[in-house]
Chains A and B, each alone.
Chain A
Amino acid sequence: MSDHEKPAPGPTVIPFGPQHPVLPEPLHFDLLLEDEKVVGAIPQIGYIHRGLELLVDKRDYLDYVHVAERICGICSFMHGMGYCEAVETVLGTQIPDRGRWLRTFWCELERVHSHLLWLGLAADAFGFENLFHASWRARETIVDVAEETAGGRVIFGSAIVGGVSRDPDDETLKRCMKAVHAVRAETLRLAEVWIGEPTVRHRLSGVGKITKDQAYSLGAVGPMLRASGVDYDARRRGYEAYGEIEFTTVVETAGDCMARAVVRLREIEQSFKIMDEVVAKMPAGPVSVPIKGMPPAGDAWNRVEQPRGEVVYFVRSNGTRQLERFRVRTPTFANIPAMVEAIKGASLADVPTIILTIDPCISCTER
């Protein structure tokens, strides 16, 4: 009786997820609300753990790349490539130039396809269906190019230890670039909408702000970090062909949802430039070196810039055909603390948009 008369002291708890219309994957939040304002958020993951890391000691180290690729359905090629690079470090293998440049091409193709996918999902999250369709229509051409060059639409399957397994000829690459240029024009039109449309601005500007210090100290990565003004991009490490290519790291300073969208839009433009340069300078020659025998005992770290941010790989070999340990630190995992900070102070209606702007990939995070 008295419970009805006296509301419990403290904030109201609203469960958010794991099933929610804007979430492509299961992620749960306990949102602490005071009136309409979120004062705290407690994240919880663990709904789709698949145990892919453990499979490394049950598969041949050369075959595991196909399992590593399936950690994520969007940045699949980069997961496979990141694993291959780490294993190649243990083996001490140098891969041929054409293999390196083809890997760079597919990395950027994947970045474009991932960012276009995100632009669509984010537009859908704030109810802009037409923009969602336009983004995904542009993405369709990109996944077709992926299928024509690598063989798969989203799981490219072309990264192998020692290089790449597919070798599209220069003519195919040039033909594909024509299709990519059409997407480039389409993306510029999309960017106009994202930046110029007042409805988009009203939903995103000033929402979910993260300062430069917060982003850095909370360990944010990728577009989340760069939208807050930190100039950091793992591609600057110069892995694969990135050391020989000119590109600018896209940095915005506002730190809100709008800035994160603009970072991705400008990154798509940079990716198109990189792909142009890669196809123009593509060296001839073999694409892979044969790998035979057991890997030596040892371990290696590797860092790769994925569409969502920096990912860290660790492999340890014990000298047999099965590796002893494989560990992945995914960008979404690194971005969760910053996301929780961004949600604080926002209104309940803005929470889905803020969660989407980190581009959460929970399957990656739980592996």
Chain B
Amino acid sequence: MAFIPMARTAFRNFFTKPATRRYPYVVRPAFSTSRGRILNDFQKCILCSMCAKHCPANAIVVDKAQGLWRIDRFACVICGACVRTCPVKCLSISNERPRAVDFSDIAGRSQEHRREVAPPAQGAAPAAGAPSGA
């Protein structure tokens, strides 16, 4: 009689569905609140680099002079600190979680946005012209 408690649990397992999914074929849809990945609506981005400054993992690189915004997807911990500090609200957390193989589509391990930057104005001194605001 003494072995009954676990035997009952084990016996029940014969009549229940498997607890696991056949993962690559059966994927549980992500919750709408899941932290999947950080997306940047680059049209709105002003390259202020507040996100890079507040990133606890130093995953974001912003270079205003070159019109560059880059996130290292492997370093990003999807904490959302950048989303909270973004002044123009161009950053968002998407619930989509790409499969590991999908990373091969992205050159290297980072994703970047680039924008054509107007050359420094003619009148400015060429040596100090790199971080010019206009």
Contacts and interface: CB of A to CB of B under 8 A. Distances in A.
A18 B77 CA distance: 28
The dominant DSSP class at the B interface is loop
The dominant DSSP class at the A interface is helix
Nearest to A130: B10
A98 B126 CA distance: 56
A212 B56 CA distance: 43
Task: Identify the interface centre among A131, A149, A157: most chain B CB within 10 Å of its CB.
Answer: A157
B36 to A, nearest CB: 9
A197 B79 contact: no
A63 interface: yes
Interface residues of A, number: 35
Interface residues of B, number: 24
Contacts of B79: 66, 69, 157
Nearest to A191: B5
Contacts of B81: 62-63, 66
B80 interface: yes
Contacts of A149: 33
A70 B79 CA distance: 11
Contacts of B84: 160, 165
A239 B66 CA distance: 49
Contact of B78 (A67, A128, A157, A168): A157
Interface in B38-76: 53-56
Contacts of B54: 60, 62-63
Nearest to B84: A165
B34 interface: yes
Interface of A: 59-60, 62-64, 66-67, 69-70, 128, 130-131, 133-134, 137, 140, 147-152, 155, 157, 160, 165-166, 168, 189-190, 192-193, 196-198
17 contacts: A60-B53, A60-B54, A62-B81, A63-B54, A66-B56, A66-B77, A66-B81, A70-B77, A147-B31, A150-B33, A151-B35, A160-B84, A166-B33, A189-B8, A192-B5, A193-B6, A197-B3
